[in-house]
Amino acid sequence: MNRVHIKTYGCQMNERDSEAVAAMLRARGYRIVETEDECDILLLNTCSVRDAAEQKAIGKAGYSLHKKRHNPDFVLGILGCMAQNRGAELLDRLPDVDLIVGTQKFHRVPDYLDNLRAARSAGVPVGQAIIDTAEEAGSQNTIRDHVESAEPQVCAFVSIQQGCNMDCSFCIVPTTRGDERSRPMEDIVRECEEVVEKGAREVTLLGQIVTSYGRRDYPHTGNVTPFVQLLEKVNAIPKLERIRFTSPHPRGFREDLADAFRRLPKLGEYVHLPVQSGSDRILKAMRRPYSRERYLEIVRSLRAAQPGMAFSTDIIVGFPGETEEDFQQTVDLCRQVDFDMAYIFKYSVRSGTPAATLEGQVPDPVREERNRILLEELGKGSLRRAQSLVGTVQEVLVEGPDKTGERFMGRTRGNRATVFEAAPRLVGSLVQVEITRASVSTLYGNLVISGAGLQSPLGAASL
């Protein structure tokens, strides 16, 4: 009765937290299984950013509790943001849940499961759920153990910070993830070195607002923020080929960060830069501390540092009070920036946030329509940008087999997924790929054999 399946909803931070829980459980002798059907213990690591994400997890929990009818020992745990946000109240909807563990207590999951199992095998009747959503000082330092997977990962995720102190009026994250806390720089660098030692060639630094990293713990040195200092240190790790980070805040893009994209060769030409809206009026109501013009200025400064810079973003449509004109400003900003990709969210009321009580909530059909228009607009732009790469040669980090298993996939420096023929021994290395075809989401191409056609004594590298 020790087979665990973890289902993750939401962001990469949640993915990373689930990996860490899996690693801790493995170390305790639990088996992590790939499918829900095989498990005795189901853990849902949840998301609260939008109501739809919460409803999805609640639906899944309700459904899986049917398993208890056939198997009274089945354990269901709800972890992460929704557990933090709703706590014991979840029992009203899901009275048979066994475990509710918040975002600062992931590291306690193995103990709680051990306790539940011990109680059951001692014949103690299944009673109250274990609920732990307390805050814990230093919890940002507990998410560190990396998965000992059989397959070494080419792309690893390293958490650098937890929580967020911004007060964006739409956002539940400060409630679910708590105050901003950064991990010590040397711990992060050590973890990056460890994952590289295990085979990673790309590291993504994760946090809710990475550009604020360490701002209360480390001084700016020579006008360089602690976040850029961290990038410099990670950039110096031998054998590491690429660094990415998510999510930054536009407020953190000063000259030192734009300059980092000039100076640090491992930073790819790609930034995820959440804009949320292209209307100054709405940005203000969202309590986002920048203007449309400032955002465009950041984009220009990054393209001045790296002309090929690709951007992705988050946009909320139908924020309370958003008029047709505000929305058109967002459409217009998207045209000006020419995003490679965007996550578009229909505004979702999160109770307890300041925006929940604002006047002028936008009717659902209007949100739906704006979502559709923007998706179409962004899809066109993204395809155009992808097609502009046809005929170019891109540096690709080979990650592994593609979905079909017939070819290989990797990403360009600008973060475009690319599919091509290669050989297994190239996994984890940088190759040159000539792009021959492009769809919105994928580039296709052929390996360029270095030295091919040259009369070099080294000859052409073979596959």
Using the minimum distance from each CB to ligand 5AD, give the nearer residue, 311 or 345.
Answer: 345
Find the distance separating the first CA and the last CA of the chain, reported in whole Å: 46
Which residue, 311 or 347, has its beta carbon nearer to ligand 5AD? 347
Q: Kindly indicate which of the ranges 39-47, 210-218, 325-333, 342-350 contains the residues binding ligand 5AD, using the contact rule CB under 6 A.
A: 342-350
Of 48 and 104, CB closest to ligand 5AD? 48
Q: Does 345 bind ligand 5AD (CB under 6 A)?
A: yes
Pick the stretch among 39-47, 64-72, 118-126, 344-352 that binds ligand 5AD (CB under 6 A).
344-352
In the complex, what is the shortest distance from the CB of residue 16 to ligand 5AD, in angstroms, rounded to a whole number? 15
Residues numbered 38-57 forming contacts with ligand 5AD, rule: CB under 6 A: 49-50
With CB under 6 A as the rule, give the number of residues binding ligand 5AD: 12
C-beta atoms surrounding 411 within 10 Å: 23
d(CA 10, CA 32): 20
SS3 107: helix
Q: In this chain, which of 347, 385, 415, 438 binds ligand 5AD, going by CB under 6 A?
A: 347
Asked whether the beta carbons of 269 and 414 are under 8 A apart, the reply is yes
CA distance 28 to 44: 19
Q: Which is nearer to ligand 5AD, 106 or 347 (CB)?
A: 347
Output 51 or 179, the one with its CB closest to ligand 5AD.
Answer: 51
81 SS3 class? helix
Shorter beta-carbon distance to ligand 5AD: residue 181 or 272: 272
User: Hey, what are 309's tokens?
Assistant: 């810079």
Query: In 388-463, which ranges are continuous DSSP H helix?
Result: none
Instruction: By CB under 6 A, tell whether 276 contacts ligand 5AD.
Output: yes
DSSP state of 221: B
Specify whether the CB–CB gap between 398 and 429 falls below 8 A: yes
Phi and psi, residue 352, nearest 5°: 95, -15
* Contact between 274 and ligand 5AD per CB under 6 A: yes
What phi and psi values does residue 8 have, to the nearest 5 degrees? -110, 135
Q: Strand 417-420 to strand 408-412: parallel, antiparallel, or no bridges (unpaired)?
A: antiparallel
Q: For 426-429, which contacts have Cβ atoms below 8 Å and span 24 or more sequence positions?
A: 426/398, 426/463, 427/154, 427/398, 427/399, 427/400, 428/152, 428/154, 428/199, 428/201, 428/397, 428/398, 429/201, 429/397, 429/398
Min CB(365)–ligand 5AD separation in Å? 17
Q: Looking at 110-269, which runs of residues are DSSP E strands?
A: 130-132, 155-159, 161-162, 181-182, 202-206, 242-246
Instruction: State which residue, 116 or 209, has the beta carbon closest to ligand 5AD.
Output: 209
Shortest spacing between CB 318 and ligand 5AD, in angstroms: 9
d(CA 457, CA 261): 35
Q: In this structure, are strands 408-412 and 161-162 parallel, antiparallel, or unpaired?
A: unpaired
Q: Which stretch, 78-86, 286-294, 341-349, 358-366, contacts ligand 5AD (CB under 6 A)?
A: 341-349
Q: Does 295 bind ligand 5AD (CB under 6 A)?
A: no
Least distance to ligand 5AD, CB of residue 357, Å: 13
Say whether the peptide bond before residue 247 is cis (omega within 30 degrees of 0): yes
Q: Which amino acid is at 102?
A: G
Output 139 or 277, the one with its CB closest to ligand 5AD: 277
Q: Which is nearer to ligand 5AD, 28 or 284 (CB)?
A: 284
Give the C-alpha separation, 82 to 44, whole Å: 10
Closest approach, Cβ 149 to ligand 5AD, in A, equals 27
316 binds ligand 5AD (CB under 6 A): yes
Task: Based on the shown chain and the rule CB under 6 A, indicate whether residue 171 belongs to the binding site for ligand 5AD.
Answer: yes
Separation of alpha carbons 113 and 79, rounded Å: 12
Among 170, 245, 253, 327, indicate the residue that binds ligand 5AD (CB under 6 A).
170
CB of 442 to ligand 5AD, least distance (A): 24
The least distance separating ligand 5AD from the CB of residue 317, rounded to whole angstroms, comes to 9
From candidates 244, 350, 367, 370, binder to ligand 5AD by CB under 6 A: 350
Is 339 a binding residue for ligand 5AD by CB under 6 A? The answer is no
Nearer to ligand 5AD, 185 or 286 (CB): 286
Contact stretch for ligand 5AD (CB under 6 A) within 73-81, 286-294, 299-307, 345-353 = 345-353
Stretch that binds ligand 5AD, among 158-166, 227-235, 343-351, 388-396 (CB under 6 A): 343-351
Q: Which is nearer to ligand 5AD, 50 or 146 (CB)?
A: 50
> CB neighbours of 344 closer than 8 A, spacing ≥ 6?
315, 317, 371, 374, 375, 378
User: At which residue do the structure tokens 């299944």 appear?
Assistant: 126
- Footprint on residues 230-249 left by ligand 5AD (CB under 6 A): none
In the bound state with ligand 5AD, the residue whose beta carbon lies nearer, of 314 and 369, is 314
Question: Which residues are near ligand 5AD by CB under 6 A?
Answer: 49-50, 170-171, 274, 276, 314, 316, 345, 347-348, 350
